[in-house]
Structure 1
Amino acid sequence: MRIVKELVKSDIKISIFSWNGKYLLKFEQGDIEQTYKIDEYDIISEDDLDKLITDEFLKDLQQQFITMNKMFTKHSEHIL
């Protein structure tokens, strides 16, 4: 697995990896993460991966993090 890039935007840690013919876009906030896989053949250049990380996409990611956190808290409160 090769690290292509790491950065932080809007309190979200973003790691981009290249592995097994795919790019993995990993987004982390606290203890929760979301990973998206993109076939390397679907991207012309690694620079195009930055174009996927728009403000609108980050806003949607943030909403998903909120939903994931609520779900995890709800289902784990009896064991944690």
Structure 2
Amino acid sequence: MRFVQDVPHAQFKIGLFAWNSKYIVKIEAGPYEQTYKISEMDLTDPDDVPTMLDEAFLATVAHRFQQMDIDWQATGERNGVL
């Protein structure tokens, strides 16, 4: 996997990578990560990726991270691990 660029953001660590004819957007928050794969055929310029990471999209990402944390805590509690 080849690193392309970091996308600055106050809340998340966002990295853009290229691998196997795809751009891969990795968004991290604490122990959680969301990954989005975009075909190079669909997006010819990696500089377009930050444009796609608009406020509405990142609000959904934040909500998904919250849900991931809720799910993780719940399974830990159910199984007496956390």
Query: TM-score when scaled to structure 2?
Result: 0.90
Deviation beyond 6 Å, 4+ runs, structure 1: none
Aligned residues: 80
Structure 1: stretches of 5+ with no match in the other structure: none
Residues 10 and 58, structure 1, Cα contact 8 Å, conserved in 2: no
Deviation per CA, 1:27-71: give whole Å up to 9, x if none.
000000100101111002111111111011111100000001000
Structure 2: gaps spanning 5 or more residues: none
SS at match of 1:47: helix
CA RMSD of superposed structures (Å): 1.1
More strand by share: 1
Larger-gyration structure (1/2): 2
Aligned residue in 2 for 1:73: 73
The sequence identity of aligned pairs, in percent, is 36
